[in-house]
Structure 1
Amino acid sequence: MALALVAATLSGCGGGTDEKKGKRGPSGPPQVGFVVVQPTNVPTTTELPGRTAAFETSEVRPQVAGLIRKRLFTEGSYVRAGQTLYQIDPRVYSAAVNEARGNLASAQANAEATRIQAERYRPLAEIEAVSKQEYTNAVASARQARAAVQQTRAALETARINLNFTNVPAPISGRIGRSLFTVGALVTTSQTDPLAVIQRTDPMFVDIQQSASELLTLRRALASGGVLPATAQVRLKLEDGSDYAQTGTIQFAEVTVNQSTGTVTLRARFPNPQNVLLPGMFVRAVFVQSIYKGAFLVPQQAVTRDPQGNATLFVVGPNNKAVQREVTAESTQGAFWVVTKGLNPGDKVVTQGTANLKPNAQIRPVPANSPQRVQAPQKGNGKAGSQGGGGGQDKQGTSQSGSR
């Protein structure tokens, strides 16, 4: 009797398991979500690293040798072109000016004497009171005296220039850094270090690095007509992640490739009225480098890569069958792949339910992100199955009620 009850119990459990398995099994083709794609002009946004550089940089260097007597600026301040920055001891150069001035006066006196002598010899040479050779020598001496006057005048001008060089001016307007030499230091024209460095920081340059391979790809696309050139407007991201308020423009691209990095330098110009940008800062440049004509924006989850790196996706084909397509997707735009080949206007690209999808499989397509309808399980025709299902629900409800 006990064995009969055990056998009946095992038989009932097995029947319930088969019934539940039957209810969990799939019914009909899998449901997938799709989006309808249309061609559009897609801008290609590029983000590249860059370094800021001063618009103008000038090293303040001495033009004459001597001791620094005064420093006439505040370190870190704004200086204007022509403003005196240092004063070098001028005594030696002032004496050179006085010496050159005296030499000039002597040369002018000698030139006057030789001129008068040559004029006196002229009538005497005509009446042969003096020899023609003496007259010729007198004329030559007068010319040499005039040449000596020009030489001494040039020496006086040089001495005056050197005297002016004792006041060291600012070559350009801009922010001056720290002074590398103090009062009392000896400076020379052949020294290695400058006295100070002046940098003009408004506007500012940003040197952007782009790989040569990317630049070649862009030029090929432009030559083929598939890509339109974009306006060279640039935005900056600073080191702290914030966006720079001003917008810059691309000025030019260098014609040589850096041999150590394999990159080409693009130079952009930015206004910097608030001096937010400082020379040498690391920034990220964001700009639209090109625009793809007639490209498709496809959600990234729809595109997969095969072992060879080729991009593939599924579209809804005739009779609601999954058709696998190989496409060209070389860049991204936010959450989308930019597909330039392999799609047609109006294609329904499968974006949801692609995990176990196979080519030519029967599918049930619905618009992406549509809510899935879940129907309540229907009771079976048999009384035993109905009672077994109801009993299971009662037990579950009792258990949940008890847990609450």
Structure 2
Amino acid sequence: RVGLRLVDPGNLVQSSGSTALAVVTQIEPITVIFTVAQDHLDEVLAQLRHGARLTVDAYDRTQQTRLATGKLLALDNQIDTTTGTVKMRALFDNKQDILYPNQFVNTRLLVTTQHNMTLIPTYAIQHNGEIAFVYVIQNGVAHVRNVKEGTTDAGMTAVEGINPGDEVATSSYEKLQDGSKVNISKRPIPQSESNAP
């Protein structure tokens, strides 16, 4: 696609000058460069070694609207030591011209699909050193239950160590101890807690 004209009729230009008449960019297809934490690099490489074509979704700034879906095209050959991330490039066919050069997007790279996982709000998980735990409520009493954290997405974390149907405390952690009596409130979760990391 040809961009806006950068010079007007009558302007003096020279063949050796650095002023462009217009800029031509390729938008169909278009590539998006994004980064992935080095902690997830082994998972990505394992899938690529097995010939998987990994899907990448591009979202708007709010991460609410999916703009386009593409495929992972390539990844860099080194880790950025300042950020601990690896650059990756995804290819989008962009038939609807939704993506533009230099546009900011959020990306989600689908590496694997997990089934039959127990999900809880990420902010319900507490830490004591390297041990992750939650407070499970049984008969009005809080019990500490160690959990193993899995994948996190959209404020929810897959965990091992609790069962579907277990009631997990989602607030007032500073007041809880193993064996504390609790009153369960069915109030909506405040925005500050529901968006907590």
TM-score (norm 1): 0.35
For the residue of structure 2 that corresponds to 1:199, the secondary structure is: coil
Alignment deviations for residues 124-165 of structure 1 (CA, whole Å, 9 cap, x no partner): xxxxxxxxxxxxxxxxxxxxxxxxxxxxxxxxxxxxxxxxxx
Asked whether the equivalents of residues 320 and 365 of structure 1 are also in contact (C-alpha less than 8 Å), the reply is yes
Measure how far apart 1:262 and its partner are.
4.0
Task: Please tell me the residue identity of whatever aligns with 1:313.
Answer: V
Preserved CA contact (<8 Å) 2:118 2:164: no
- Unmatched runs of 5 consecutive residues or more in structure 1: 1-173, 224-228, 371-404
One of 236, 239, 247 as aligned partner of 2:69: 247
Distance in structure 2 (CA, Å) of the matches to 1:262 and 1:282: 21
How high is the sequence identity, in percent, across the aligned residues?
19
Change (3 A) 1:272 1:294: closer
Given the alignment of the two structures, is residue 175 of structure 1 paired with residue 2 of structure 2, yes or no?
yes
SS at match of 1:213: helix
1:324 equivalent to 2:144? Answer yes
Matched AA of 1:237: D
> Which of 46, 59, 72 matches 1:236?
59
Structure 2 matches for 1:34-49, cutoff 5 A? none
Q: Which amino acid aligns with 1:312?
A: F
Question: Which structure dedicates a bigger proportion of its chain to helix?
Answer: 1
Distance 1:274 1:353, change over 3 A: closer
Q: 1:348 to 1:354 in 2, by over 3 A?
A: farther
The alignment covers a number of residue pairs equal to: 180
Distance 1:276 1:303, change over 3 A: closer
Counterpart among 166, 169, 176 of residue 351 in structure 1: 169
Counterpart Cα distance in 2 of 1:259 and 1:328:
28
Tell me: higher relative CO, structure 1 or 2? Use CA pairs within 8 A at least 6 residues apart.
1
Unaligned stretches of 5+ residues in structure 2: 188-197
Deviation per CA, 1:186-237: give whole Å up to 9, x if none.
Answer: 53xxx58485543222221111122323424x359x69xxxxx895141321
- Which protein has the larger Cα radius of gyration, Structure 1 or Structure 2? 1
Whether contact under 8 Å (1:230, 1:288) holds in the other structure is no
1:119-198 to 2 correspondences below 5 Å: 174-175=1-2, 178=5, 185-187=13-15, 191=16, 193=18, 197-198=23-24
Conserved 8 A contact 1:299-1:335: yes
Instruction: Output the TM-score relative to the length of structure 2.
Output: 0.62
Counterpart for residue 107 of structure 1:
none
| Contact 1:252-1:268 within 8 A present in 2 as well | yes
Mapped contact 1:316–1:365 kept (Cα < 8 A): no
